[in-house]
Structure 1
Amino acid sequence: MRVALAFVFLLPSVSCAQTEEMIRSVEQKLATLKWIQSQEAPEGGFYAAPQNPNSKPAPVASLRATSAAARAWKYLGGEGLGSKFPNKEKHAAFVLKCYDPKTGGFAEPDGKPDVAVTSVGVMAAMELGVPKEKFAKAMDYLKANAKTFEEVRIAAAGVEAWGVKDCPFKLDDWVKVATDYAARPNPKDDPARVAGSATAFFLRLDRKLPDDLSLASLTLRSGQRKDGGWGKVEGDSDIETTYRVMRALMLLRVKPKDPQKLHEYLDAHRTKDAGYSTKPGDPSSMSGVYYYAIVSKWLDDMEEKK
């Protein structure tokens, strides 16, 4: 509470109701930061979800969860709230243990490298300040192995983290894959999910949107469901599709049709232990915390600029 009150007193004059809401928001963020820290593995890295330390076999840290933890900490404003990301060097060392210098790929502990995990590894390494030369071959791995749209989509996130201008290879092949996807999506896929996925790909790589995405902002806004989110198919929304669409809207600098309903949708994922789930009513997970942290940060930024 002391940190929350100190934070609010630094703000311009606000109403009592606004002050209470701000304090509650800060306290919730501090509680979630504490939840993230509670998922630290003793040897470095973070668990994907709360673990029983006495379980057999012993719980193993996850590269995906470690990347999510570091980035969620940033989007929740941990540093600004006086909470420094814990044991950064130890977690950076864990990330490097997941890197295979022979292939250039990243893998989960005891797993095999693939495009998605390698991209996550690049993002985690960059977020934790690992020098590029220690995992430079990861870019070669992404270039050689990203072929499908889903692969180039997630690989683009790795390139964005690395630095698009510093990318050591041309992106023309990936752009062709994404252009074809936008022109001929699977008819069973939700239009907003397709538009969000493809739009984010092009804008993350500083590329012009193709003609097939010229109306992307309208498709994204109209695709918002009654529950406030977006989904893969008709019916309920899912947090992963909501994340894809909101990333595209953020890059387009366009607000969703109903920000308040989206706030309510996100809040429905909060769990009793101060984490967030990927589906309302499910247990907390690092993925749930990451999706909440980044989407709510984008939404807050959009509303501040109104």
Structure 2
Amino acid sequence: MSTASAASAWRSYTSILPFLRSRRRFPCRLPRLHTEDAMKRFLIFGLSLFVTALPVRGEAPERQKAAVAYLQKLQQKDGGFAPSVDLPKSSLRATSAAVKALNHFGGEIPDKAACADFVKSCFGKESGGFADQPSGKPNVEVTAVGVMVVAELKLTAEPYEARVAKYLDENVKTFEEIRIVAAAFEAMGKRPAQADAWLKQIAELRNEDGTFGKGDGAARDTGGAVAAVIRLGGKVEHPDAVLQAMKSGQRPDGGFGMQDSPLSDLGTSYRVMRSLHMLQSRPEDVDRLRAFLDSCHNADGGYGVAKGKPSSASGTYYVSSILHWIDEK
């Protein structure tokens, strides 16, 4: 620190001494500092407080490594990933979450070839859909997830795209199905044949100010709908009101939560952050959001879907995605 900077800091300190001494709650007696040595002690003390207050970014790589190790332990002998350590059965949903999270964290899939084989085995050639396990019954949500993990693993899409597109176009009915299928078509780099019809269906849910939902559920509902609209090539109406609805939904703990629930959860936080990122925006308090993510971290290296919940592939994926969006330059 230069002499001029030191002198400036000293003047700042002495100028606020009367105010500080007037505060009954000030936690310690303020020494009378007159000498050059005293000034040096003050500056060293102040510098130590500044260093202590800095965020400990050095722990992030360690948590990242721990998350990678946790995810890698979830891979099963058949190549798929289990939802959690306590549910040791491969699931296509869990496999998609684990693969995406490993990619975000810079980790490796222990057996990538076996993982690819598991994904392929969940596809039904006759139905054109994916099931959560081999020989299972396909559905819209899992089929959308299957397409996304095919893209994430950089597998050849040709055997799946046409059949999957037909299956999804014919079977999507609800908003929640539209929401995830829009992400699937985005992963395929295609616009669905039913895009305009789906956009109309979403518009029927929209409030006059462009937001979705009501009360403390507006942030989640708006986040889910806006991402789908953008992915389907639609227009976001009243973007300022939309951004305000999502940002104002940030809870005291830093996360975002469902309607009528006082607790934040990672699934809702993911939906809101996905749309904020797509609109090139950020939450009001990023540091509080980071603190919420940290509160979901567990000793096994993974993350639960909410504070106090056991670790899972999905919880860890949500955190990896949110951190990716926060830190993206």
Specify the TM-score bucket, using the shorter chain as the normaliser. Answer: 0.7 to 0.9
In structure 2, distance between residues paired with 1:20 and 1:261: 12
Distance 1:19 1:85, change over 3 A: farther
**Deviation at 1:170?**
4.5
**Deviation at 1:276?**
0.7
Q: Please give the residue correspondences for 1:1-306 in structure 2 after superposition, counting only pairs within 5 Å.
A: 21-51=56-86, 59-78=88-107, 84-109=108-133, 111-136=136-161, 137-163=163-189, 166-167=190-191, 169-183=193-207, 187=214, 190-211=217-238, 215-234=241-260, 235-301=262-328, 305=329
Distance 1:182 1:39, change over 3 A: same
In structure 2, distance between residues paired with 1:34 and 1:187: 40
SS of the counterpart of 1:93? helix
SS of the counterpart of 1:132? coil
When normalised by structure 1's length, the TM-score is 0.83
In structure 2, distance between residues paired with 1:75 and 1:85: 12
Count of aligned pairs between the two proteins: 274
Q: Is the CA contact (8 Å cut-off) linking 2:185 and 2:192 kept in structure 1?
A: no
SS of the counterpart of 2:110? coil
Q: Is the CA contact (8 Å cut-off) linking 2:79 and 2:112 kept in structure 1?
A: no
In structure 2, distance between residues paired with 1:188 and 1:106: 36
**Deviation at 1:16?**
8.1
**Deviation at 1:67?**
0.3
* RMSD, aligned CA: 2.3
Q: Is the CA contact (8 Å cut-off) linking 1:197 and 1:244 kept in structure 2?
A: yes
When normalised by structure 2's length, the TM-score is 0.77
Q: What's the CA shift string for 1:193-235, capped at 9, x where partnerless?
A: 1211111111223322135x55211111111111111111131
**Where in structure 1 do 4 or more consecutive aligned residues deviate above 6 Å?**
15-20
Amino acid at match of 1:50: V
SS of the counterpart of 2:244? helix
Unaligned runs of 5+ in 2: 1-49
Q: Is the CA contact (8 Å cut-off) linking 2:191 and 2:232 kept in structure 1?
A: no
In structure 1, distance between residues paired with 2:81 and 2:109: 12
Q: Is the CA contact (8 Å cut-off) linking 2:216 and 2:249 kept in structure 1?
A: no
In structure 2, distance between residues paired with 1:42 and 1:104: 26
In structure 2, distance between residues paired with 1:29 and 1:261: 19
Distance 1:60 1:218, change over 3 A: same
Q: What's the CA shift string for 1:9-47, capped at 9, x where partnerless?
A: xxxxxx987999343211211111111111110111101
Identity of aligned residues (%): 39
In structure 1, distance between residues paired with 2:254 and 2:57: 22
Amino acid at match of 2:259: V
